[in-house]
Amino acid sequence: MSTTTAERPPRILTGRTVLIYLVSFFGVIFAVNFVMIRVAVSSFSGVETESSYKAGLTFESDVAAAHAQDALHWAVEAKLEHAPARGIVITARDAKDQPLAGLTAQVLLAHPTDKRNDVSIDFAEISTGRYRSLGPLPEGRWDLVINLKRGDDVVFRSKSRISL
């Protein structure tokens, strides 16, 4: 039994073939980069500070506000409660451990990576110095931004990472 194999002549590498391979290779690289850049730009809302120049102008007043807040020695706690309904309860006490009256709570659940997903939460004062969230809370990891205001002035500001 004999088998014969037909030998193929070797393929000649021409300049045209090299050019086609080269253009195809870089075409695939550019196409993948274009898709990845497009996805990255469309899925990320940008930086946390819209204008670093404006943030720099208010830096000194922000530092002064932080020092004034520290001088108050307030104790503000936020807890997640599950009964009777799931919600966040904020307790605010002064340096003498007395509940703080006359404040309004302005709370934001800030998404850590995408500003477009931030959720503002309404709070009601349930007793002096105690505030409870109204409505449902979204699941996930959030930055809890608490602003306690007296009139139009923010007298306390806190930001912490939480999981709901």
Q: Report which of 140, 105, 141 is spatially closest to residue 124, judged by C-alpha positions.
A: 105
Of 50 and 8, which is predicted with more confidence? 8
Q: What is the pTM of this model?
A: 0.65
Residue 117 pLDDT level (bands cut at 50, 70, 90): confident
Question: What value does the mean pLDDT of the chain take?
Answer: 87
pLDDT tens-digit series, residues 36-79: 999 888 876 656 677 788 888 888 888 988 898 888 888 889 88
Of 164 and 26, which is predicted with more confidence? 26
Helix/strand/coil for 64: helix
One-letter identity of residue 52: S
Pairing assessment for the beta strands 87-93 and 75-81 based on DSSP bridges: antiparallel
**In angstroms, rounded to a whole number, what is the distance separating the alpha carbons of residues 77 and 156?**
12
**In angstroms, rounded to a whole number, what is the distance separating the alpha carbons of residues 47 and 41?**
12
**In angstroms, rounded to a whole number, what is the distance separating the alpha carbons of residues 39 and 37?**
5
Q: 157 - beta bridge partners?
A: 147
